[in-house]
Structure 1
């Protein structure tokens, strides 16, 4: 789509949006003013079978890859969740980018780094696995730092008394769509969604706040798996594994019904992920651009 006056390098200005959604960013000015919390429980019976099948095909895959492939697929069908508010204006993001926190080693002393990965809306589970694993493996090389780490290190050398001014200036540029592209490409705060896997730390998921800096409108957290016991009609008991998801969204980007339908779609795909083997039959475009 050709860029028009008022668009940003990372998003198209929404021009056909409901009048309510033009007003609401002036009422709820910050992203954490507009946080809405969702909780879902994913039945893992078919998911774990799918993961085992993909592993037998030679791929390194876990629930994290399935979850992110699912969200990429949902965005391709429910593109309005890939919006953001900046400078009290609503935009449709023109790419799918995910931020992910990664521990270089599983120890208290090990550094944590944040990586961003770009996906295409028609990516299959195989393409998602390939892109993710390359990025994760590169980030775990202890001696090396990615571009985001290098930028943060440079920023850390700024004298403390002018930090506020520097961040304020970056926010000023961002609100006007003038933030340099190289900074945005390094930023985990300018992504479609941010994911944290607390299961690798052995803890349950938490609701993680959204950041006022940047444009990320969705934060997803999952943790350790749960074992459930279900009583059947014949008085036998089934043991099932499930996964809790905690999702925090910016309610200013789209109405609650649309969000709920997107989350239902995500749940359905995560519980029956074989659809991710194939590309989607169509890519839906945000119709309010």
Structure 2
């Protein structure tokens, strides 16, 4: 076993039963939308030369650091911790082309500041838009050309290997669904947050969608979470931390 991005977590008997009752992520998905009023953040971003979405990513990082249970995922009726803080999102290569979306994955380090996160995102955007062919795009294009029955067989084999941590690292590293969080900045296209499904493939236990951040500092954020990774009270505490990071940015030293 390669253990590239997983550490096994001891399970309680209740967890084991819960996984048998709800064997897939979408069966165990819960959803909640939070409205955040953050006028202080509007001033903070302007004063520090920051943008909203990088700050949201930074807030995700700080929240996971404080609530490490969010790094958990379930696969093969077993619970694991991600070793890394990996986030996947969509970047448009061409703002005028609706079909130019690229699904990318990146890693945040625990000690990164707000400016570090914004710099990393800027590099990722520049790199994605300058590349003619992205690794994820090439993988998706290859898979889309496979006959349906071949794809189904390949997916079953890959899922079996992933279950026992035998999936090649090359696939894990390039696959955006082998991640800790998928986040969609729908506000960038004037959209609102939505309740998004989870993905049964991969290792992602949480999807966050972000609505439009208004001039007055209002925004809706919707969380889709695999409830098998932690108790409900842990989720509410994590959401409170996330909300506080947006509503009170002056409390940060990042």
- TM-score, normalising length: structure 1: 0.83
- State the Cα distance separating 1:31 from its structure 2 match: 0.3
The structure 1 segments of at least 4 consecutive aligned residues displaced by more than 3 Å after TM superposition are 274-278
> Of residues 231, 240, 250 in structure 2, which corresponds to 1:264?
240
- TM-score, normalising length: structure 2: 0.94
2:4 aligned residue? 9
Contact in 2 for aligned 1:66/1:273 (Cα 8 Å): no
User: CA offsets per residue over residues 73-129 of structure 1, 9 Å max, x none?
Assistant: 111111001100000100011100000111112234441101101011221112111
Q: Distance in 1 between matches of 2:102 and 2:132?
A: 11
> Of residues 84, 90, 97 in structure 2, which corresponds to 1:95?
84
- State the Cα distance separating 1:22 from its structure 2 match: 2.5
1:70 aligned residue? 59
Contact in 1 for aligned 2:2/2:166 (Cα 8 Å): no
After superposition, where does 1:217-232 map in structure 2 within 5 Å? 217-225=205-213
> Of residues 148, 151, 165 in structure 1, which corresponds to 2:139?
151
After superposition, where does 1:131-280 map in structure 2 within 5 Å? 131-141=120-130, 144-225=132-213, 240-278=216-254
2:34 partner SS: strand
Q: Distance in 1 between matches of 2:201 and 2:27?
A: 13
After superposition, where does 1:101-120 map in structure 2 within 5 Å? 101-120=90-109
RMSD value, Cα: 1.7
Distance 1:156 1:110, change over 3 A: closer
Gaps of at least 5 residues in structure 1 are 1-5, 56-60, 228-239, 279-289
1:140 partner SS: helix
Contact in 2 for aligned 1:220/1:247 (Cα 8 Å): yes
Gaps of at least 5 residues in structure 2 are none
Question: When the two structures are aligned, how many residues end up with a matched partner?
Answer: 254
1:48 pairs with 2:65? no
Normalized per residue, the structure richer in helix is 2
